[in-house]
Amino acid sequence: MTNSPESALARHIAGACATPLPEPVEARTRLHLLDTLAAILSGRDLPAGVFGYRFAETAQAPGPATLLGSQSRTSIEQAAFANAMAAHADETDDSHIWGRFHPGCGIVPAAIAMAEGRGADGSDLLRAIALGYDIGARSTMALGFSSPKTTVFSTHAFGTLFGAAAAAGALAGLNTQQAEALLSFTVQQTSGLSYWNRDPDHVEKSFDFGAKSARNGVFAALLAEAGMTAPDLPMTGQNGYLAAYAETPAPGKLTEALGERYEIARSTIKKWSVGSPLQTVLDAVGEVFGGQPTAVDKVAEIVVHLPSNRIHVVDDRHMPAVCAQHLVALATLRGHVSFAASHDHTLMQDPEVRAMRRKIRLVSDEELTHARPERQSIVHVRMADGEERRHHARVVRGTPDDPMTAKEVAAKAADILGPILADGGARLIALCLNEDFQMTDLVAACQRAPVASPTNLRSQA
């Protein structure tokens, strides 16, 4: 073993589960665990989650890991895959701005499946999840991409893979030599092209962002655990990871402040279960209208300014949770957008919503593209009586610059889990946020009410 970034990463992975997290970091990790579980349990009813669970249930014999929210058990790899398909079945899960990926949807399912399969306890799970965020974010930051538009490679697929592999490897109890081999198997499974943004149904996108990474990360850990050997320097050596994928290679970023700067504390939990570019938009609409319902005839025009490099993601999309015009109309009419409402396709044909949509115009704004923090928006409203209202939302609620409180994250989870779990999610929220738990308790708290279905979600809209 050399004195290299790979050896430093390997030592960190091997020792992660034996190293307590600082109290604020553990508290933050608990929030991301709860937020991702809410995404998994709600995502099960959406097309990507339905496919993932069906595939896992039919492709494998029973195994040691659970398809969360059900009684079905399968292999660790298949459970990681299916739960991750559900975790990014829509736009509920977390994100990491600097790493340009959605960490929770791949890392948390991989960690839960491995923890359950290996009989780990809750503290091990939390430490492995925090580790995954650390390794995953550094793996993409080291590539030195100057903007999302400068490469065909998808950091969304890369970061979750390295994070999932690290988390699974730590929970498998890999030693330092095995952990360095783990990095090699992970590098060889690195893949992902940015044409995921053409996916009209958010199904392959779930595979690209989370499921592929969760499955492959677990597989890399199992190979390392079994003693498979590997070449050295898979990340920084000749023809390695950085040589293949980086725009401006920055090998020092692979280990920069490792063990001191926890990337989970720099991750974002979404306030709204909608596309990331729309987080500030809904905040701005709330400010403009004071969170109060506003009728169609009271509004003359709503102009929404969005960054030019993000507007295509949310402009007039057919999925309600990523359609700017639809969500702005809904937020204006109702004063708030619940999880159920933002996922109700029938509301896209509602006459009142359609009438409000006709008064909404999106503007591509180059200045907002370069504004910092990222993903700012401006909402300008002209009321029917001639009054002008405007709000510039500069900071996204839930980002490190304006983090959500534990109470807010719990409220978001309760809104999502209310129609899904028999107790409205109370037990799962308490376990994740306040208790020392065992995996059996966590899995049991995810057990869904028999009546849960997309119809139930719509009834809560």
Task: Kindly calculate the radius of gyration of the chain based on its CA atoms and give it in whole angstroms.
Answer: 22
**Residue 421 to residue 405: CA distance in whole angstroms:** 23
Give CA separation, 389 vs 114, 152, 299, 302, 407, in Å.
51, 40, 11, 9, 30
Strands 65-66 and 73-74 turn out to be antiparallel
- pLDDT (0 to 100) of residue 449: 63
Residue 456 has pLDDT above 50, yes or no: no
**Band of residue 200 on the pLDDT scale cut at 50, 70, 90:** confident
- Residues 98-107: tens digit of each pLDDT: 999 999 999 9
Percentage of the residues of the chain whose pLDDT score is greater than 70? 96
**Band of residue 149 on the pLDDT scale cut at 50, 70, 90:** low
- pLDDT (0 to 100) of residue 447: 92
Residue 376 has pLDDT above 60, yes or no: yes
Residue 199 has pLDDT above 90, yes or no: no
Residue 299 has pLDDT above 70, yes or no: yes
- Residues 250-261: tens digit of each pLDDT: 999 999 999 999
pLDDT, mean over the chain = 94
Among candidate residues 222, 241, 229, 89, the one with its CA nearest the CA of residue 165: 222
* Lowest mean pLDDT segment, chosen from 94-103, 188-197, 290-299, 443-452: 443-452
Residue 56 has pLDDT above 80, yes or no: yes
Arithmetic mean of pLDDT, 110-136: 98
- pLDDT (0 to 100) of residue 251: 98
> CA-based angle 407:288:346, to the nearest 5?
75
Residue 58 has pLDDT above 50, yes or no: yes
**Residue 242 to residue 345: CA distance in whole angstroms:** 42
- pLDDT (0 to 100) of residue 459: 35
**Band of residue 450 on the pLDDT scale cut at 50, 70, 90:** low
Arithmetic mean of pLDDT, 160-184: 98
- Residues 131-141: tens digit of each pLDDT: 999 999 999 99
CA 348 to chain centre: 25
Arithmetic mean of pLDDT, 15-22: 98
Residue 175 has pLDDT above 60, yes or no: yes
Among candidate residues 161, 160, 319, 221, the one with its CA nearest the CA of residue 10: 221
